Amino acid sequence: MAKPIIECRDVWKTYSMGDVKVNALQGLNLIVKEGEFVSIMGPSGSGKSTAMNMIGGLDIPSKGSIFLDGKNIAHLTESDLAQIRGRKIGFIFQRFNLINTLTAKENILLPMMFQDTPLAERQRHATELLKMVELDDRTNHKPNELSGGQQQRVAIARALANKPQVVLADEPTGNLDSKSGDIIMTFLKKLHKEGRTIIVVTHDEEVAKCADRIYILKDGTIVKTQKGGYVR
């Protein structure tokens, strides 16, 4: 039986805005098991981005616990969090977040440099990843020389650079036309079939339905869990 790889227990995130306190998350509870494909869905302002930051170790909660592969990461130092993020989680962002001065291959190489991967292995793996996302003919192109869909495919390759257990995608189709969006979701399904745990944060119902299971978020808490439409 698959074990939980991510678990949020009564997670709160409170921001202070002058004298006003805003609860972006209010007792978030969710479990994602190894090898699952899960969507977190909700309207703007529901707490999706904050939930993604917590799950991905990009921020720490005001209270509550977050377990990643059995380790509570809720109150680790930033340097410890960065190391865990680099090894265990691959991020795909709506705005791609590629470095414009670097080529497609150099963007993919960068995360491996931070993990001290040997140069020859970095080069080999980056080449393999570009081929996997069908961009081996764009190796030396910079982001402004690529379409939005191509940039997102580079972002997927970069997310896989350190062979993470979890791929966390924040609105991965949000800046793409429908055809490019379909291509990106096909890649994510392929990664899932290869054994990756996939978490997609989205407001798009059609994207959410690609998952095994959908968490519905409202006012910073899960209000409903439903079965997705994923077909193996």
pLDDT at position 79: 87
| Residue 211 covered by a domain | yes
| Residue 44 covered by a domain | yes
**Residue 60: which of 40, 38, 84 has the closest Cα?**
84
| Residue 133 covered by a domain | yes
| Residue 26 covered by a domain | no
pLDDT at position 22: 92
Measured between its terminal Cα atoms, the distance across the chain in Å is: 18
Do 69 and 5 touch, CB atoms closer than 8 A? yes
pLDDT at position 215: 95
Tens digits of residue pLDDT in 176-230: 888 889 999 998 999 999 999 999 999 889 899 999 999 999 999 999 999 887 6
| Domain span holding position 82 | 34-57+77-227
pLDDT at position 118: 95
Tens digits of residue pLDDT in 72-83: 999 888 888 888
Q: Is the pLDDT of residue 232 over 70?
A: no
Q: Which two tokens stand for residue 84?
A: 């865990």
**Residue 55: which of 96, 84, 21 has the closest Cα?**
84
Domains identified in the chain, total number: 1
pLDDT at position 84: 87
Q: Which two tokens stand for residue 65?
A: 């616990």
Long-range contacts, 57-61 (Cβ 8 Å, 24+):
57/81, 57/84, 57/85, 57/89, 58/85, 59/13, 61/11, 61/12, 61/13, 61/25
pLDDT at position 87: 87
Task: Name the amino acid, one letter, at 40.
Answer: I
| Residue 12 covered by a domain | no
Mean pLDDT of the chain: 92
pLDDT at position 231: 56
- In which element (H, E) is residue 105 found? helix 104-114
Q: Is the pLDDT of residue 139 over 80?
A: yes
CATH of the domain at 213: 3.40.50.300
Tens digits of residue pLDDT in 51-65: 999 999 999 999 999
| Residue 23 covered by a domain | no
| Residue 7 covered by a domain | no
Confidence of residue 11 (pLDDT cuts 50, 70, 90): very high
Tens digits of residue pLDDT in 165-177: 999 999 999 888 8
pLDDT at position 129: 95
pLDDT at position 229: 73
pLDDT at position 230: 61
pTM of the entire predicted model? 0.91
| Residue 15 covered by a domain | no
